[in-house]
Chains A and B, each alone.
Chain A
Amino acid sequence: MSKKQTWFVMIVLAVALVACLAVDLMLPSYHIAVTVIKKAAVYALVAVSMNLLNGFTGLFSLGQAGFMLLGAYAYGVLTIPVDKRAGVYQYFDGGAIHFSIPEIFSNVLGDTVGTTVGMLAALLVGGILAALVAYLIGLPVLRLKSDYLAIATLGFAEILRAFFQWNALGPITNGSNLLKSYPTFSHATPYVVLAGVMIAFIVLLIRSTYGRAFKAIRDDEVAAEAMGINLSRHKRLAFVISSFFAGIGGGMMAMYMGTIAAAPFKSTLTYEILLIVVIGGIGSITGSVLASFLYIFSSEWLLRGLDSGTFLGINAPDLFKNGFRMAVFSIIIMVIVLFFRRGLMGDKELPDIPNMIRGVGRRKKEARK
């Protein structure tokens, strides 16, 4: 990366952070902009974690929703305040767990700092849990090839979901009832910073020797093995790390949603994230992040009017009724999947953007000649 590129990246990241802070300072926390940024940050993290697996290692896995479920539940179960547990677990005698990590930390570190540290610790536990489960699942599943791997991971996610709805585990998971009343961040900046730090870790991983090995496996398994790359070890590593970040993303999703149930973590969620990865470009971290923000921004905000009668000043309640937004959206996605298979960024990253813009300019100039 040249000096110019480093500056460019720094400036872009700084501008993004300042913009996010400004939104937090100027708008109330229930404003749609705050919601969009929160949700998009969570989706960006999960999309990048999926990209690490599908785009960089070439393992087509569809288990993301399952690992997010683990992270979300771990976060909820560990952070509900003790005095609210009786209300939340009303059908299970107040549940089996009688401590709350944020409260333990706030006894030691004081209220504000302690709660935050406790929340982060709970997120981390969620990530580790997801990683552990991924390790176990990976033992049999990672031996499978392409589409079999996809369907087996999808299956595991469904099995996990069934377990979390099982009444026998109710004292911990609250069965098919909601988990709620746990602490959340109400501003957007914590989400952006958290997701940003996690994504930075993934970027560092991809630029390391491990990342190179992952790419080698993606491009040609047989050749990679011949070069001395331990296939099963690296695949397992990618799977476990990706699941770790999906778990943390799941915990953040729980924060964003305010309540946890098993229902939103269906395979539809995985599909949605996969489509975000595709829109951004399979194999581009920047693309996944950009696509998440674009996707959430347009589906939650920009195209809202398509659902509620008026769009771009056109008032047609019969056409623009509930569901039209997602119908239009999925048509756009199909167009991208079919005709712009490289997505927004292809395999380019943030530092390449100045060159890409310059390249377009040059081509235009040549065309004019």
Chain B
Amino acid sequence: MQEILPYLINGISVGGQYALIAIGYTLVYGILRLINFAHGDVFMVAGLIMVYATTAMPMYLALPLVLVVTVLLGFLIERVAYKPLRSAPRMSLMISAIGVSYLIQNLAFYITGGVPQPVTNPIPWISENVELFGQSTKRVTLVTPVLTILLVVALVYLINHTKIGMAMRAAAKDFETAQLMGIKINAVISMTFVIGSFLAAVGAMLYFTNYPSVSITSGGMPGLKAFVAAVFGGIGSIPGAVVGAFVIGLCEEIIKGLGYTTFSDAFTFALLIVVLCVRPTGLFGEKVTDKV
């Protein structure tokens, strides 16, 4: 137990970070039926901005700035790259998402010069070491799950009990009818991107404190894994995404603990394929039938 404990603790922490990204995927997919391939890169950009901002200004300015810029980026991506394609086939939308991901990575390469940007203790308080069950760990591993749960509870409240939340649910249920009922669909979609990017920014701040540097491809893997988490939990369902993310985070760390680090990424995709084949709607997803 003593040997596996640090991996379990890490797993819960990583799971929380994946959960924050996964919500962005699941919200967008719920409404637009689009895998937002650029979401992982938004996450990466948030990490980069954190690195730049925390070295240039005091923390109480830097962290809000990271949130604001990331949210703006998410909003802009939707307006520029997805909105013009509302009536286009789904494949075009997905290609556009891949194009955006490519664009963000190349722009980031240009700005950073292709050099991974070192993360030098951006938020000192959460990088401090604390004792937990006799194990020494960074405080961020404790903060992450708590913060994740708090944010998810707030989000669920927003979706179930506010007007914009109701509009989001309506849009997810039936895009066109929601429009006919007077819901401003563009505002609702923008809102989902704003929420998704906000959570991704929080996730990035927590995630990258554990890593020595942010490189332009750092967003790809966590992004894909978070997407798998969203599918595993049933895409479109927020609790599903969170549960899926924690499961994946835990499994991954346990596999690393067993000494198969090469396969920790492969496992995630194997899980995805098994889930898709056995229960394509995921743990909490609703069944969708094809309309002819």
Contacts and interface: CB of A to CB of B under 8 A. Distances in A.
Interface stretch (B129-137, B185-193, B265-273): B265-273
A60 B197 CA distance: 26
Contacts of A140: 273, 276-277
Contacts of A330: 99, 102-103, 106-107
A158 B266 contact: yes
Nearest to A323: B110
B262 A166 contact: yes
Interface stretch (A42-50, A85-93, A143-151, A187-195): A143-151
A257 interface: no
B211 interface: no
Contacts, number: 128
Given A140-B277, A274-B98, A155 B228 contact: yes
B90 interface: yes
Contacts of A329: 106
A166 B290 CA distance: 41
A15 interface: no
B81 A146 contact: no
Interface in A202-239: 222
B101 A271 contact: yes
B217 to A, nearest CB: 8
Nearest to A137: B273
B266 A163 contact: yes
B102 A333 contact: yes
Contacts of B150: none
Interface in B81-134: 81, 84-85, 88, 90-92, 94-96, 98-103, 105-107, 109-111, 113-114
Nearest to B85: A338
Given A152-B273, A158-B269, A326-B106, A334 B81 contact: yes
A140 to B, nearest CB: 4
B227 A151 contact: yes
B35 interface: yes
Interface string A323-355: 110110111011001110100000000000000
B109 A337 contact: no
A159 interface: yes
B280 interface: yes
Nearest to A140: B277
B181 interface: no
A275 interface: yes
B113 A321 contact: yes
Interface string B55-94: 0000000000000000000000000110011001011101
Interface centre among A140, A155, A165 (most CB of B within 10 A): A155
Contacts of B228: 151, 155
Contact of B90 (A146, A162, A267): A146
Contacts of B254: none
Contacts of B88: 341
A275 B98 contact: yes
A278 B276 contact: no
B224 interface: yes
A181 interface: no
Nearest to A153: B273
A135 interface: no
B1 interface: no
Contact of A156 (B96, B105, B273): B273
Interface in B234-292: 262-263, 265-266, 268-270, 272-273, 276-277, 280, 290, 292
B220 interface: yes
Nearest to A319: B110
Interface string B164-207: 00000000000000000000000000000000000000000000
Contact of B269 (A150, A159, A166): A159
B231 to A, nearest CB: 7
B266 A327 contact: no
B226 to A, nearest CB: 12
Contact of A327 (B90, B101, B106, B265): B106
A322 B266 CA distance: 33
Contacts of A323: 106, 109-111, 113-114
Contacts of B84: 338-339
B106 A165 contact: no
A20 interface: no
A166 B267 CA distance: 13
A271 B103 CA distance: 11
Interface of B: 33-35, 80-81, 84-85, 88, 90-92, 94-96, 98-103, 105-107, 109-111, 113-114, 217, 220, 224, 227-228, 231, 262-263, 265-266, 268-270, 272-273, 276-277, 280, 290, 292
16 contacts: A144-B277, A152-B272, A155-B269, A155-B270, A156-B269, A162-B263, A275-B98, A322-B109, A322-B113, A326-B106, A327-B103, A330-B106, A337-B92, A337-B99, A338-B96, A341-B92
Smallest CB-CB A-B distances: 4 pairs: A155-B269, A323-B110, A162-B266, A330-B103
Given A158-B265, A159-B270, 14 more contacts: A147-B34, A147-B35, A147-B94, A151-B272, A152-B276, A155-B272, A159-B266, A166-B262, A268-B217, A275-B99, A322-B113, A323-B110, A327-B106, A334-B103
